[in-house]
Each structure stands twice: as structure tokens, then as C-alpha cells.
């Protein structure tokens, strides 16, 4: 990962929690003892948050930077236990996180170097409580594993996990994503849909994106909204998110590994084997346990072909490296070969056709 922006350890639900897991909360039971209401009728009481996580927005937005994986590990282990961590690259680790908390919820935007966090079964059992963790990908890729499912989401996609059960999150290079951590009460009936929803891309991405846009606008209001309007807006946002989660779960019910899950698995396989120039449709058909004909029919439903998807993922990863100022010392031909391109001329032509700039222009920032 890269540098990280983290909320102070005294602020509930923000910062590292959004990326890693649930923060240790001493005294949490006492704080919530007088909140018996649940569901969407738990209205804001004179600015006090209800069991659905609605409460006044705290505009003490915090941004921090941590350099070095050892420092990152020390910080997380001290303030946010119950996680195993792994640096996926040997270079200096860097992460940046900006967070804002409101009621019992927290919104964070995280940019990070390639890394992995894992909540094992033992650590999940040791954690005090669980939360709903919604993730929207802004750039790069994020891979989530939970409940025997694995999905890879790219920019514009969203997924969800339950921190009370084991899960694993893996970030690609130049990954940037937004995380919303919610108490279970924010989504009525979460216990009925969690097992079949977590670890899969959200089907109702449109509603989820609309909710994210509303959240970003709300947390960026600087406290200028009239009293009570924040709680009203948050209730509407929670309703949108709950609707999106239930709609996604409904469309997945009884489908087993559906088309979108298969496509995510194919994307993950390409990312894991991106340096293999011979990667082709036959490899994807084998991994997905389906015939080549069925594979092409699957991709056709998403207006794709296996070849185009492989090429686009290669180009996207090359673009992220070439646009990263810290990677400008790298030779373009090395980046191309590392991502499975055998011919530099073909790489340059395809790159310019897709992004309307040459690889060298992208590398020096002339975009």
C-alpha cells in the first residue's frame, strides 16, 4: 500500500477501519445502551444518532500519510486489531486516507500501494462486533474474498462485505476507493441477505453510486446545512443503500455463480497472470470450467470478447504505472513487457487508440 490518511484512534469508525476492519471500541456497550430503536424509524433525536447510524456529521475530517510498511503495521496493530497484513511489493509502502464520521457510520477515501489484509476466522471471532462495509472503486482494482466468493471490481463498480466473518481484501497498484462502514441497523434485514451478497459485485450499482455522490456532497458541506437537514439527508441515503443491497441480493438469489461473478473471476485471473503474453480465451474457459462457446456467449452479454477484455486490462494497468509520478524512472518497454505485450509498436498503437495519448506523453504528464 501507499501512504494512508487515518482518523485519530479516538474517532470511531474512520480511517484504517474503512480499509482493514473494525476498530477496538472500549465502552461501546455503554454508549449504545439507551438506543433500543432499530430500522428506518429510529429518527434523529435532537441531533443524537439512532441505531441506524444517523447522527450529526463531524467535520473534523482527518488526512494522514504513513510511509513504510512497518510503521503502517505498527499503527494498525495498535489501534485496529484483528487483522493480518501483507505488503505485495518490496518497495516503500505508502497510503493516504481521508475520513469523516457521522453517527455510527464512517466514510473514507483511500489511496494505497499493492497490499492485502485478511481477517481470519480466529480474528473474526475475537473482534467485538461486526459492520457492513460498502466499497466503491474509484481507480485501479480491488479484490474481495468472502463466503467462498471472490470478485474483482474496477472503477465505477461496488461491492460489500461483513466484517463479522472472515474476509480478504487485495489492492492493485494505484488503487483508490471509497469505503462506507455502517452498523447492521442501517440496512433492515441485513442478516437475511448478507450470506448471499458479500464477496460479489453489487448489481444495483446505479443506486449505490447515487448514494455515494450524495454522501460526498453531504460530508463536503462544511457544516453549512441547516440544523436537522443532515440527519434527514442521511436517512434518505441509508434508504438508497438498503434498497441497493436488497435489490442486488434479490437478483443473485439462487443463481449460483452468475454471469457477473464469472466475469469478475475472469478479470481476477487476468490480473494474476497479466505478464503471460500467451493468455487467451482457452485459459479463461478452463478457469471458469466452461466451453469456449459458452465463454464467448457470456462475454457477448456484456458487449465484450475475451481478447478485448485481456487487452483492456493490460492497457489499464500500464496506464496506471505510466501516470504514476513515482514510476517515471521506468522504461516504457519494460512496463509493456511486464504486462504481457510482446511488441512495443503494437503496445504504443493500442495505448494511443484507447487513451488518445502516447505512452511517453502519459509518462511525462502531458495529458
Q: What is the DSSP string of 174-219?
A: TEEEEEEEE-GGGSTTHHHHHHHHTTSB-S-HHHHHHHHHHHHHHH
Report helix, strand or coil for 233: helix
In the prediction, which pLDDT does 61 show?
A: 67
Q: Which residue has the cell 493500442?
A: 350
The answer to whether residue 297 sits within a structural domain is yes
Residues 264 and 353 in one domain: yes
Residues 280 and 247 in one domain: no
Task: Report angle CA 273, 319, 261 to the nearest 5 degrees.
Answer: 45
In the prediction, which pLDDT does 60 show?
A: 54
DSSP state of 116: E
Q: Which residue has the cell 443491497?
A: 245
| C-alpha distance across the termini of the chain, in Å | 25
Of 261, 120, 267, whose CA–CA distance to 203 is shortest?
261
- Domain residues for the domain of 308 are 259-364
In the prediction, which pLDDT does 333 show?
A: 94
The answer to whether residue 309 sits within a structural domain is yes
Q: CA 319 to CA 316: how far, in whole Å? A: 5
Over its C-alpha atoms, the chain yields an Rg (Å, rounded) of 21
The answer to whether residue 11 sits within a structural domain is no
Of 344, 327, 284, whose CA–CA distance to 309 is shortest?
284
Residues 228 and 324 in one domain: no
Last residue within a domain, chosen from 225, 252, 279: 252
Would you say the pTM of this structure is higher than 0.85?
A: no
CB atoms within 10 A of CB 78: 10
- Beta strand segments in 25-130, E: 57-67, 84-87, 94-102, 105-112, 115-119
Residues 170 and 303 in one domain: no
In the prediction, which pLDDT does 154 show?
A: 87
Residues 214 and 86 in one domain: yes
The answer to whether residue 8 sits within a structural domain is no
CATH code at 313? 1.10.10.60
Residues 170 and 227 in one domain: yes
Residues 29 and 116 in one domain: yes
Of 334, 332, 329, 327, whose CA–CA distance to 359 is shortest?
332
In the prediction, which pLDDT does 342 show?
A: 92
CATH code at 150? 2.60.120.10
In the prediction, which pLDDT does 220 show?
A: 67
The answer to whether residue 1 sits within a structural domain is no
Residues 149 and 231 in one domain: yes
Residues 217 and 145 in one domain: yes
The answer to whether residue 301 sits within a structural domain is yes
pLDDT in tens, the chain (367 residues): 443 333 333 233 343 344 444 444 333 333 333 333 333 233 333 333 444 444 444 445 677 788 989 887 876 776 566 889 899 887 789 888 787 877 678 888 888 888 999 999 999 988 878 899 999 999 889 999 999 888 989 888 899 999 999 999 999 888 999 999 888 888 878 988 898 899 988 887 778 888 888 888 877 644 444 445 566 777 788 888 888 888 888 776 545 556 767 887 888 889 889 999 999 999 999 999 999 999 998 888 778 899 999 999 999 889 888 988 878 889 999 999 999 999 999 999 999 999 999 999 998 875 4
Last residue within a domain, chosen from 220, 252, 284: 252
Residues 172 and 313 in one domain: no
Return phi, psi of residue 136, to 5°: -110, 130
Residues 180 and 96 in one domain: yes
Number of domains in the chain: 2
Last residue within a domain, chosen from 196, 229, 252: 252
The answer to whether residue 40 sits within a structural domain is yes
- 49, three cell numbers: 444518532
Residues 232 and 292 in one domain: no
The answer to whether residue 114 sits within a structural domain is yes
Amino acid at each position: 500500500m501507499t501512504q494512508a490518511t487515518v482518523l485519530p484512534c479516538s474517532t470511531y469508525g474512520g480511517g484504517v477501519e474503512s480499509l482493514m476492519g473494525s476498530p477496538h471500541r472500549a465502552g461501546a456497550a455503554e454508549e449504545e445502551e439507551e438506543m433500543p430503536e432499530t430500522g428506518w424509524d429510529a429518527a434523529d433525536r435532537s441531533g443524537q444518532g439512532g441505531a441506524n447510524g444517523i447522527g450529526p456529521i463531524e467535520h473534523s475530517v482527518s488526512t494522514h500519510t504513513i510511509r513504510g510498511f512497518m510503521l503502517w503495521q505498527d499503527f494498525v496493530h495498535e489501534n485496529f486489531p484483528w487483522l493480518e497484513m501483507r505488503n505485495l511489493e518490496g518497495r516503500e509502502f505508502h497510503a493516504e486516507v481521508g475520513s469523516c464520521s457521522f453517527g455510527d457510520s464512517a466514510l473514507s477515501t483511500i489511496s494505497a500501494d499493492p497490499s492485502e489484509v485478511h481477517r481470519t476466522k480466529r480474528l473474526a471471532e475475537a473482534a467485538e462486533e461486526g459492520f457492513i462495509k460498502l466499497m466503491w472503486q474509484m481507480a485501479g482494482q480491488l479484490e474481495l474474498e468472502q463466503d467462498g466468493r471472490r470478485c474483482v471490481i474496477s472503477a465505477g463498480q461496488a461491492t460489500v462485505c461483513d466484517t463479522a466473518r472472515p474476509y480478504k481484501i487485495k489492492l492493485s497498484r494505484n488503487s483508490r476507493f471509497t469505503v462506507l462502514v455502517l452498523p447492521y441497523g442501517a440496512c433492515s434485514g441485513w442478516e437475511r441477505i448478507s450470506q448471499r451478497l458479500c464477496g460479489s459485485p453489487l448489481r444495483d450499482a446505479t443506486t449505490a453510486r447515487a448514494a455515494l455522490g450524495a454522501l460526498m456532497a453531504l460530508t463536503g458541506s462544511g457544516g453549512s446545512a441547516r440544523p436537522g437537514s443532515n440527519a434527514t439527508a442521511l436517512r434518505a441515503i441509508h434508504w438508497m443503500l438498503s434498497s441497493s443491497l436488497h435489490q442486488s441480493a434479490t437478483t443473485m438469489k439462487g443463481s449460483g455463480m452468475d454471469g457477473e461473478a464469472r466475469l469478475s473471476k475472469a478479470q481476477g485471473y487476468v490480473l494474476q497472470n497479466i505478464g503471460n503474453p500467451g493468455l487467451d480465451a482457452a485459459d479463461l474457459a478452463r478457469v471458469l470450467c466452461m466451453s469456449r462457446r459458452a465463454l464467448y456467449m457470456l462475454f457477448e452479454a456484456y458487449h465484450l470478447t475475451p481478447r478485448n477484455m485481456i487487452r483492456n486490462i493490460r492497457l489499464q494497468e500500464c496506464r496506471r504505472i505510466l501516470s504514476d509520478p513515482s514510476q517515471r524512472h521506468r522504461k516504457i518497454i519494460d512496463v509493456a513487457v511486464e504486462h504481457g505485450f510482446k511488441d512495443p509498436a503494437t503496445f504504443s498503437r493500442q495505448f494511443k487508440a484507447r487513451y488518445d495519448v502516447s505512452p511517453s506523453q502519459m509518462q511525462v504528464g502531458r495529458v
